[in-house]
Amino acid sequence: MEPSSSSYKIILGSSSVARRKILSEMGYEFTLMTADIDEKSIRKESPEELVMALAEAKANAIISKLQTTSNQEGVDEPTILIAADTAEAILQRLPIDDYLKDAEPTLLITCDQVVVYEGMIREKPTSKEEARQFLKDYSGGHAATVSSVLVLNLKTGLRKGESDRVEIYFNEIPEEIIEKLVDEGITLNVAGGLIIEHPLILPSVKEVVGTTDSVMGLPKSLTEKLLKETLA
């Protein structure tokens, strides 16, 4: 797939700096939209179900924005939606207006992620104290990230979505490193307070079973696969 010559647009439905960086590295040009949803109101038992449900909610919220904007301004090109959390339910419940069916394709990508530690689901820390405890737990231990990607083609109604899991093993994380990371505040903006690409934490990462881009929130190979399948 040649991003520069493709006859469709991409909308990344995320405010994540890391996801923007990854999608740019993949060679795509895209616009950004964010979804205003109450993530805490959506609960599922398994991490895979949760991230898919959250992606679905984000997709629904963004579609509402697109419909409102299109009704006001019109749409000139096709549209595809990618919601990194849920693939199955979104199209079953999502009303797709005629103006989207007649438009050229646009790909909308939405994503979500949680961390799993000792069987418990962890989302973004709610305080520096919680972020500090999360990092202390990971020290010398093991955690996993579960990320979801959903892609919806608003022209054809075709949707594809999956989740990706990465296992991460840590050496001991020095107390002073934990304090520096917490003081920076960056751990408050990521699921489970877990950010393995940071220069401070990188030396404490023992092994990653999976890909770093997935840990950062947007698995490249899965995203490419879903984009191609949704355009097929």
User: pLDDT above 90 covers what percent of the chain?
Assistant: 63
Rounded Cα distance between 60 and 175, Å, is: 42
Rounded Cα distance between 59 and 69, Å, is: 15
- What's the Rg (C-alpha) of the chain? 18
- Per the model's pLDDT, the better-predicted residue between 216 and 8 turns out to be 216
Whether the Cβ atoms of residue 196 and residue 214 lie closer than 8 Å to each other: no
Q: Give the three-class secondary structure for 231.
A: helix
pLDDT value, residue 69: 60
pLDDT value, residue 117: 97
Q: 6 pLDDT band (50/70/90 cuts)? A: low
**81-85, 183-187, 214-218: least confident range:** 81-85
Six token digits for residue 62: 């963004």
- What pTM did the predictor assign? 0.83
Whether the Cβ atoms of residue 65 and residue 33 lie closer than 8 Å to each other: yes
Six token digits for residue 87: 């693939």
Name the pairing type of β-strands 159-170 and 142-153: antiparallel
Six token digits for residue 17: 């700096």
- C-alpha closest to that of 167 among 116, 102, 133: 116
Supply the mean pLDDT for the chain: 84
Q: What's the pLDDT tens digit per position in 16-61?
A: 999 999 999 999 999 999 888 877 778 888 999 999 999 988 988 8
Whether the Cβ atoms of residue 196 and residue 168 lie closer than 8 Å to each other: yes
